[in-house]
Amino acid sequence: MSKDPTRSLLVRQGAPFSLKKYDPADTLGWEKEGAKAELEKVKARLDVLQQRLFAEERRSVLLVLQAMDAAGKDGTIRNMLSGLNPAGVRVTGFGVPGGPETQHDYLWRVHAAAPGKGEIGIFNRSHYEDVLVVRVKEFVPKSVWSKRYDHINAFERLLTDEGTTVVKVFLNVSNEKQRERLQERVDDPEKRWKFRAGDLDDRALWPKFQAAYHDAIKRTSTAAAPWYVVPADRNWVRNLAVATILLHHLEAMQPKLPDPDPSVVGCVVE
């Protein structure tokens, strides 16, 4: 695999796609030390561009993170935030819908959490749960969930048309690595709070989840809102890949600082 994750991990619209071809343990050609040094460089540049995006206050970025349990969604967000100004970042986690969320269509809560102008939004799970867990566990019939891929594409096109760059990342963890990490959650008192007995039910449904992920990624990876399949068995590869992908999209946006007020240029502060 190439070192450039923005190419090698991108799922191209219309191209043949097989989730199985992506190796969760891929290093993308990096050694750990080199990757860490590179990550620092990527973060430094992210910091500059985020600042410009924030100052420009015209457009936004939405990073969608989807994955099986213990793939590292929380760790990825924690790592991203260590390189960004939290004031311009909006993180939203989506769990089982409750309260008023159950009274509306599945996109209602998602749209409300979309990033505002100048912001980077990060979704920890998302509207994709409505074609993933909802499909696998048959919370609604196929006649209902099967229509959702089109809704999602239309919804994301609305966001992109209106100035939000949408980037979607699937953290691809292997079955064995998930087993290891779930066991760690059981064994380590500091991690136990993350473990729910229901996680084992989801794990038992692994092949069905993989099939649902395959279909979701294939049907909703578009030029405007692409998916990336990021190897997630090694945290340091995952962190570098996600940061590099985010940076790639921010670079493409070329956020600009607002023009200074002419009366301010050359002004002497006494």
Residues within the interface to Mg ion (CB under 5 A): 69
Choice between 178 and 222, CB closer to Mg ion: 178
| Residue least distant from ligand AMP (Cβ) | 129
Q: Which is nearer to ligand AMP, 54 or 209 (CB)?
A: 209
Cα gap 53→59, rounded to integer Å: 7
Q: Which does 96 bind (CB under 5 to 8 A by kind): Mg ion, ligand AMP, none?
A: ligand AMP
94 binds, among Mg ion, ligand AMP, none (CB under 5 to 8 A by kind): ligand AMP
What residues contact 117, with CB distance under 8 A and at least 6 apart?
57, 58, 59, 60, 163
Site string for ligand AMP, 176-215 (x = CB under 6 A): ----------------------------------------
Which residue, 65 or 246, is less far from Mg ion as judged by CB? 65
CA 63 to chain centre: 4
**Residues 166/156, Cβ–Cβ less than 8 Å:** yes
User: C-beta of 199: minimal distance to Mg ion in Å?
Assistant: 6
Binding characters for ligand AMP, 116-135, by CB under 6 A (x = yes): ---------x---xx--xx-
Could you say which residues in the range 71-100 bind ligand AMP, by CB under 6 A? 94-97
Angle between helices 148-161 and 206-220 (to 10 degrees): 50
Question: Which residue lies nearer to Mg ion by CB, 69 or 233?
Answer: 69
What pairs with residue 123 in β-bridges?
Answer: 64, 92
Q: How far apart are CA 7 and CA 244, in angstroms?
A: 11
**Positions that interact with ligand AMP (CB under 6 A):** 69, 94-97, 125, 129-130, 133-134
